[in-house]
Chains A and B, each alone.
Chain A
Amino acid sequence: MQPEPVESPTVSRKWRSVLGGLGPILGLVALCIVGTALNPDFATVDNLMNVLTRTAFIGIIAVGMTFVIMSGGIDLSVGSMAALIAGSMILFMNGLAGGGHAPLLVVALGMGLALVLGLAFGCAHGLLITKGRVEPFIVTLGTLGIFRAFLTWFADGGALTLDGALSDLYSPVYYASLLGVPIPVWIFAAVAVIGSVLLNRTAFGRHVQAIGSNEQVARYAAIRVDLVKILTYMLLGLCVGIATLLYVPRLGSASPTTGLLWELEAIAAVVVGGTALKGGEGRLVGTVVGAILLSVISNILNLTSIISVYLNAAVQGGVIIVVAFMQRGRR
């Protein structure tokens, strides 16, 4: 037994796990109070929906990222992957529309392409990491460069823009609302719920956790480690695909700056949400709260003039380090 140097090991462990779960939520509540105090526009329904809609892209990707990080992996390429998927979708849809196909079919096929590409890229990552035995950091650092370079090449350094008619047809996917809640927020909620069920209620989720906690033990326990790892990267790819098909109708274009630093935001959301970067431990609810918390910070920066909006990424980077600092030695 390894007794903890505190009053009572059991009680303190429970307290700490409760605190660990509440930490991000308490942070979010505190931020909202600060935001309301600084600017009355903060606490309006419009602004809330605005924040949630903006969270959707990063939040959906962060859900997938939680699985990858929980299994002990990492994916640095998600921002570039989103950009390449966005560019490919636009080229594909413009091409099909030029061939005289029905616009609705074209948009549906374009959305399908986003999902297929996400799965394919994730599968490629997974195969290189498991069968090719290259570190996930290296594989996805490589594809981070590759994906964005291909988009820049496709776009010839400029932007790829969706044809006007298609754009009008596609834009409700981002701009429309259902019961007063924007479509991206609904989809974000659905992805989060499905992710949570997958993580907590299926053998796949338990296996992901077991691999991240100790891969060797998992292997000896007859878990198909390679398959599970490949699936986590495919799941993340699928999430990137979903986020991208919500993102494209927003601007109707893709450029070399599309999805820039999304990997930072997605990984930050996962870490702020309490998932250990070395794997094995984490919570999906935490990730969702973490993603919202990060976009609330950037929203407050937008609404107030205390810190320049240009320092947004600096604040997010700072938040990651502070949270990691507070979590150190937790295990």
Chain B
Amino acid sequence: MSLSIQFDQVTKDFGAVRVLHGVSFELAPGRVYGLLGENGAGKSTLMKILAGYERASGGEVRIDGTARRFDDSRQAEAAGVVLIHQEFNLAEHLTIAQNIFLGHECRKGWLLDDAAMRAEAARVLQLVGLAADPDTPVRRLIVAEKQLVEIAKALSRRARLLIMDEPTATLTPGETQRLFALIARLKEEGATIVYISHKLDEVERVTDEVVVMRDGRFVARAATAEVDRRRMANLMVGRELSDMFPDKEPPPADAPCALKVSGLSVPGWAEQLDFEVREGEILGFAGLVGAGRTEAFEALIGLRPRSAGQVELGGRPVALRNPRQAMKHGITYLSEDRKGKGLHVDLSLRDNLTLMVLRPWLRLDQERDALVHAVREFGIRTGDLAARARMLSGGNQQKLALAKFLHPDPRVVVLDEPTRGVDVGAKRDIYFLIRRLAAEGRAVIVISSELIELIGLCHRVAVMRAGRLQATLGLDHLTEEELIAHATGTR
């Protein structure tokens, strides 16, 4: 019952801009494909055409040998093609069950058949491993749970071709494991799966074959077993990628303590956290989603209430009641939610960059100089300095966000998931930037769910579980196994 797909010279133009240049390849039924490419390579656009969200400007998409053109996603879903979006399409005020059946409600005569929908919702929720009542409003769920609801929604549509766009970006290792088990099961049941991800280790584990795209063109395909991660990365960027991570130079032995936190407690999220970070040191924070890492640091700089805790910056005790005081004392925090909390996507690059440090009277010429400087310094690729932030690619938005939160020249900078949704090339740029920040004598704290990133980048990694600090691992103990063991409490 699975579908085979043939793309034949598919092109897509947005006005004069051609984003797909005659893409041709085939997907055989019942296999798991990894679709790789940097941001802007055209993979999402191609998949949107397949799933009826966009129309091709030229070429053909054949499903099981017949040319098909879907007017909308409903038609595609009726044909068994379902796309799980990178961004969520959930109605926040409706319940999980209502969302799963949105537009496909079960009926009993004129009325909705709530009991049947609830039962089916409970079934698919169990499949994805989300222990939540189908009557829970979606707005009460955390991001990872919403992702699982999106997957459950796709399952309830009985997909024969399932496209997943970055499904694990917000999932914990445990949830990711469950998703992989689910993918294996769907494959056994005969579904074709297209798996888009920046996480090459996952692609390596879960896919049968990889297809690589670059600049709107098909580049290569190969059996997953025959290419290693390095080769995948090289194919995506189109050049030899030397080591992803910069060399680790530990901070000098006598480097003074930059930030010392003792007994930090955040009601409902964190209890009695003690840690310190020295100048020139990169301290990682590992843990599952919901372990309280983000919340602890939001509380630290005064974005949410805390019930206890002392903070010392540069050896002096300080009271940080709001982000402004925190900034004045030399600590800034870049949120994991780039578009919701990090950047004003509708404002210009300049307005974003200088927002935190404006003097009462604006100096537009100085702001412009600052932007020119930041674009060079942080390697932000933009054709137009007057552009709005939303015109930038994900990686360049992230670089702009980093520039913004470094503009106040903090001594301590907290970066929450600094490479989320960013392509390999930009990731590497960001790693080297973080290294440089440390070399300049700043203390850097990196919160990340990507263990490889923490291991490759940090001098020490603190592991949190359920709001408590579980362990702090030094250089010689930094392995994936150790981190997972502490994060999940199996040690």
* Residues in B108-130 with C-beta less than 8 Å from chain A: none
- 10 of the cross-chain contacts (CB-CB < 8 Å) are A3-B14, A202-B360, A202-B361, A203-B362, A204-B360, A209-B347, A217-B342, A217-B343, A224-B322, A331-B346
Give A7 to B445 CA distance when docked, in angstroms.
45
- B346 close to A213 (CB less than 8 A): yes
Residue contact B358 to A9, C-beta cutoff 8 Å? no
CB <8 Å contact, B351 and A206: yes
Check if B362 sits within 8 Å of A202, measured CB to CB: yes
| Nearest CB of chain A from residue B470's CB, rounded to whole Å | 27
Contacts of A220 in B (CB 8 A): 303, 323, 333, 335, 341-342
A210 vs B14: C-alpha distance in the bound complex, in angstroms?
29
B346 touches A221 (CB 8 A): no
Q: Mark A201-220, 1 if CB is under 8 A from B, else 0.
A: 11111110110011011111
Q: Are A210 and B391 in contact (CB under 8 A)?
A: no
Are B393 and A1 in touch, CB under 8 angstroms?
A: yes
Minimal beta-carbon separation of A288 from chain B (angstroms): 21
How far is B359's CA from A241's CA once the two chains are assembled, in angstroms?
29
Tell me whether B340 and A2 are in contact (CB under 8 A).
no
Q: Closest CB of chain B to A225's CB: distance in Å?
A: 10
The answer to whether A75 has its CB under 8 Å from any CB of chain B is no
Whether B268 is near chain A, meaning CB under 8 Å from some CB there, is no
How far, in whole Å, are A209 and B340 apart by their CA atoms in the complex? 16
Q: A202-B362, A203-B360 are in contact. Are A2 and B344 (CB under 8 A)?
A: no
Q: Which residue of A lies closest to B19 (CB)?
A: A3
Q: How large is the interface on B (under 10, 10 to 19, 20 to 34, 35 or more residues)?
A: 35 or more
By beta carbon, the residue of chain A nearest B325 is A222
Which of B397-425 touch A at CB < 8 Å? Answer: 404, 408
Decide if B390 is an interface residue (CB 8 Å cutoff).
yes
Q: Which residue of A lies closest to B15 (CB)?
A: A6
In contact, B360 and A222 (Cβ under 8 angstroms):
no
Write out, one digit per residue, whether chain B residues 350-373 have a CB within 8 A of any chain A CB (1) or not (0). Answer: 010001101111101000000000
Contact of B17 among A3, A210, A219 (CB under 8 A): A3
Are A210 and B333 within 8 A (Cβ)?
Answer: no
Choice from B347, B393, B404 contacting A213 with Cβ under 8 Å: B347
Q: Are B15 and A9 in contact (CB under 8 A)?
A: yes
Chain A residues numbered 253-309 whose CB sits less than 8 Å from any CB in chain B: 280-281
Residues of A in contact with B (beta carbons under 8 Å apart): 1-10, 12, 200-207, 209-210, 213-214, 216-224, 280-281, 331
Contact (Cβ within 8 A) B346 A214: yes
Bound CA–CA A12/B326 (angstroms):
42
Interface residues in B39-82 (C-beta closer than 8 Å to A): 40
- Measured between C-beta atoms, what is the minimum distance from B354 to chain A in Å? 8
Chain A, residue nearest B383 (CB): A10
Determine if A1 and B346 form an interchain contact, defined as CB atoms under 8 angstroms apart: no
| Distance A275 CA – B380 CA, assembled complex (angstroms) | 30
Whether the pair B361, A201 counts as a contact (CB closer than 8 A) is yes
Instruction: Let me know if B324 is at the binding interface, CB within 8 A.
Output: yes
When the two chains form their complex, are residues B391 and A8 in contact, meaning their CB atoms are under 8 A apart?
no
Residues of A within 8 A of B359 (CB): 203
Residues of B near A202 (CB, < 8 A) are 360-362
Interface membership of B247, Cβ < 8 A: no
- Chain B 312-340 near chain A by CB (<8 Å), digits 1 or 0: 00000000001110110000110100001
The answer on a CB contact under 8 Å between B340 and A216 is yes
Q: Return A205 CB to nearest CB of chain B, in Å.
A: 8
CA distance A210 to B348 in the complex (A): 11
Please, which residues of chain A bring their CB within 8 A of the CB of B404? Answer: 221
The yes or no answer to B237 lying at the interface (CB within 8 A) is no
- Is B243's CB within 8 Å of the partner chain A? no
User: Which single residue of chain B is at the shortest CB-CB distance from A6?
Assistant: B15
B322 smallest CB distance to A (angstroms): 7
B384 sits at the interface (CB 8 A): yes
| B15–A210 CB distance below 8 A | no
